[in-house]
Amino acid sequence: MLVLVVATAVVGYLALRVFQETATFDTDEADHANAILELYYALRGGTWDGIESAILRQSFYPPLHSLTALPVSFVLHPSLAASRLPSVIALLLYSILFVVLVRRAVGDSILSLTAGARTFAVMFCGLVAVTSPILVFNSALCMLEPLGALLMVLLLLVFAREGEEELSWNRIFLGATGVVLLFLTKYSFGIFALGGFGLFLLCQWFQGRVSFVRCIICAGYICLALAAWFLVSDWQKALSFVFDQPPARHALLSSENIFFYPRVFFRMHVVHPWVGVMILFFAILGLWNDVHRPIVQLSWCLFVIGFAALFLSPENGSRHIIPVIPPLFLLAAFGGAAFLEWGERTSGAFRLVWRSGCCLLVVGLLVTIFFRVQKFPETITKRYESKPYFANIFESIATLASRGPVLVEGLSDSMSLEGLRWWVAKDLEIPYTKVKVDGFPFTSFQKIRAPIHSRNEAAPWVESNVPDKPLSDTLQSGYYRSFVRIYGTAVYHRLNNISEGSKKDLSEEYLETLMSTFQEIHGVRVQIYSVPVPS
């Protein structure tokens, strides 16, 4: 009950914060918000072509997050809050189901656990799980990780009460379905789940709990489901993102890469490093004590494979490890229950001391949580990388976009092009494919990714194998009706790849011939140019 009370308080605060927040989307959030918005307008319009494009052409990100978040948009209508609220709901369901998972799994431990041991496991590990700082922070954003953590808990819940006898076919089928759903949330989540679940089935086959035929059927089911998805979706673009990765930030065996995710765990996945030490201690204890149980083996396989995949990944990201951590917390619950139970088997004063020590652990955890959560509002504000007044700038650009295509210079990751496009689509109530707003200069990254999901091109004449044209040529082409230049803050970056000064000078001279107006929005200077239509 205490865990659910804390979880409700955290979720309630996040829900209130999401409804009050006016900060626009950065690039990462905007990618997912645009996918939701595209599906919303496709279903509202009722055209099969739009629905097919919204579901099957989502490039690197599969559609499950968009599908699960869609009901909120229909209830609240497209807005910043409607895009972020599904993550809060996922955190609430994650908290409830994790408590159910621990109670079911630990209750069938090899040890004959007392009620006190089960309660200690639920309280300690449940509190750690529902107050994981990085999970809470990402639940205030329009991100995939909260849904990934929820699906990982559901996958574990399938085998929560599986004993040491032969695994039932129903549970194997449900587990395989969970792997497919994780794939359809994000491909990296699917890699974690597929590798961990495959290793788990291999272990069960060696131990005689599942037949080789069932393993083959399960593998065939997963392969057919994923093959069907890749055949009907834009799999070529998805693979291009997988294999066209940027250079690794650190060498594979460098200390920076080896210790990156351990540091992330101790700093961001638990409320304090001492809590992380206890979780690791309990996890090792739980693995040692209940290693023969299928649920323990599945948890271990999912955690090890996920952690290994992240270690080999060229891109280190603190939030990427979120779906890998729930299996570790479950292992810690087994160890925590065994830890208290061993003390319960003693008698006299030692049992009292043991119980008192476990109670102090819970009290110490609650005190640590109390002090850490006081910093959550400040940290969440930083997680919203954009600023609330960006919305005012976007409103002005949306007004221009209603009259014709707009080119914008001065955007960045925080004041993002994709966030601007989402805002224009929302304001004008048009599908994302109809938004004609682009960022200048057209970098090679933008050429590939800006028309996300095979949508509108950056501009009709821009090709990925042609060098970028100067601004003057771009504007004189007759496509854009307005050009917006944003000055004054860190969001203004002249990323022009053209090295010839004469071309830049010609562009500036051309701009001087155009009619322009200035707006001052919260200290940000915005200059709007009216581009004449060629006769």
Query: Which residues, at least 6 apart from 10, have a Cβ–Cβ distance to it below 8 Å?
Result: 91, 95, 130, 131, 136, 373
Q: How confident is the model at residue 453 (pLDDT cuts 50, 70, 90)?
A: very low
Together in a domain, 399 and 319 = no
The residue assigned the tokens 């200690």 is: 120
d(CA 306, CA 189): 8
pLDDT tens digits for range 383-427: 887 777 788 888 888 988 888 888 888 887 788 888 999 999 999
Note whether residue 484 is domain-resident. Answer: yes
Range of the domain at 441: 390-530
Query: What pLDDT does 501 receive?
Result: 40
pLDDT tens digits for range 460-487: 444 444 445 677 777 777 778 888 888 7
222, 45 in Cβ contact below 8 A?
no
200, 300 in Cβ contact below 8 A?
no
Section 337-366 average pLDDT: 84
| Residue 89 or residue 311, greater confidence | 89
476, 510 in Cβ contact below 8 A?
yes
Query: What pLDDT does 269 receive?
Result: 92
Section 329-348 average pLDDT: 85
High-pLDDT (> 90) share of the chain, %: 39
Together in a domain, 420 and 364 = no
185, 151 in Cβ contact below 8 A?
yes
Query: What pLDDT does 240 receive?
Result: 58
Query: Which CA distances in Å does 319 have to 134, 188, 285?
Result: 7, 12, 27
Query: What pLDDT does 229 receive?
Result: 87
- What average pLDDT is seen over the chain? 81
Query: What pLDDT does 140 receive?
Result: 94
50, 431 in Cβ contact below 8 A?
yes
Note whether residue 42 is domain-resident. Answer: no
Note whether residue 107 is domain-resident. Answer: yes
Q: How confident is the model at residue 511 (pLDDT cuts 50, 70, 90)?
A: low
Together in a domain, 341 and 298 = yes
| Residue 314 or residue 167, greater confidence | 167
Q: How confident is the model at residue 88 (pLDDT cuts 50, 70, 90)?
A: very high
Together in a domain, 304 and 426 = no
pLDDT tens digits for range 111-124: 556 677 778 888 89
Query: What pLDDT does 125 receive?
Result: 92
87, 143 in Cβ contact below 8 A?
yes
H helices of 211-293, in order, are 212-232, 235-243, 255-258, 260-264, 273-289
Residue 224 predicted with pLDDT over 90? yes
Query: What pLDDT does 185 receive?
Result: 92
| Residue 47 or residue 403, greater confidence | 403
Query: What pLDDT does 449 receive?
Result: 40
Note whether residue 516 is domain-resident. Answer: yes
Section 5-15 average pLDDT: 94
Query: What pLDDT does 451 receive?
Result: 38
Note whether residue 361 is domain-resident. Answer: yes
Sign of the Cα pseudo-torsion (161, 167, 170, 174, in order):
positive
**Residue among 360, 128, 392, 383 nearest 265 (CA):** 128
| Residue 445 or residue 166, greater confidence | 166
Query: Which residues, at least 6 apart from 123, have a Cβ–Cβ distance to it below 8 Å?
Result: 2, 3, 362
* Partners of 483 in beta bridges: 407, 529
Residue 500 predicted with pLDDT over 50? no
The residue assigned the tokens 């609220």 is: 85
d(CA 36, CA 461): 28
Query: What pLDDT does 197 receive?
Result: 96
Q: How confident is the model at residue 69 (pLDDT cuts 50, 70, 90)?
A: very high
Q: How confident is the model at residue 108 (pLDDT cuts 50, 70, 90)?
A: low
Query: What pLDDT does 525 receive?
Result: 60
pLDDT tens digits for range 228-244: 888 887 666 665 555 55
Q: Supply the DSSP symbol for 533.
A: P
Section 485-500 average pLDDT: 45
142, 33 in Cβ contact below 8 A?
yes
pLDDT tens digits for range 264-307: 999 999 999 999 999 999 999 999 988 888 999 999 999 999 99
Which of 39-43, 151-155, 171-175 is predicted with the least confidence, judged by mean pLDDT? 39-43
Structural domain count, the chain: 2
333, 100 in Cβ contact below 8 A?
no
Together in a domain, 373 and 520 = no
Of 327, 360, 379, the one marking the end of a domain is 379
Note whether residue 24 is domain-resident. Answer: no
Section 175-197 average pLDDT: 94
pLDDT tens digits for range 514-523: 666 766 655 5
* Partners of 519 in beta bridges: 526
317, 257 in Cβ contact below 8 A?
no
Together in a domain, 374 and 455 = no
Give the strand pairing for 437-440 and 406-409.
parallel
Note whether residue 46 is domain-resident. Answer: no
**Which pair of structure tokens corresponds to residue 532?**
């004449």
**Which pair of structure tokens corresponds to residue 512?**
């001087």
Q: How confident is the model at residue 52 (pLDDT cuts 50, 70, 90)?
A: confident
Helix (H) or strand (E) holding 484: strand 482-486
Note whether residue 267 is domain-resident. Answer: yes
Query: Which CA distances in Å does 91 have to 18, 78, 329?
Result: 13, 21, 15
Section 219-226 average pLDDT: 94
Q: C-alpha angle 398/404/405, rounded to 5°?
A: 80
Together in a domain, 306 and 423 = no
Together in a domain, 307 and 424 = no
Of 356, 379, 402, the one marking the end of a domain is 379
Together in a domain, 437 and 351 = no
Residue 41 predicted with pLDDT over 60? yes
Of 357, 379, 401, the one marking the end of a domain is 379
Residue 132 predicted with pLDDT over 90? yes
Together in a domain, 186 and 288 = yes
**Which pair of structure tokens corresponds to residue 121?**
């496991």
3-state secondary structure of 406: strand
| Residue 3 or residue 413, greater confidence | 3
Quote the pTM value: 0.87
Together in a domain, 419 and 508 = yes
3-state secondary structure of 483: strand
Together in a domain, 237 and 353 = yes
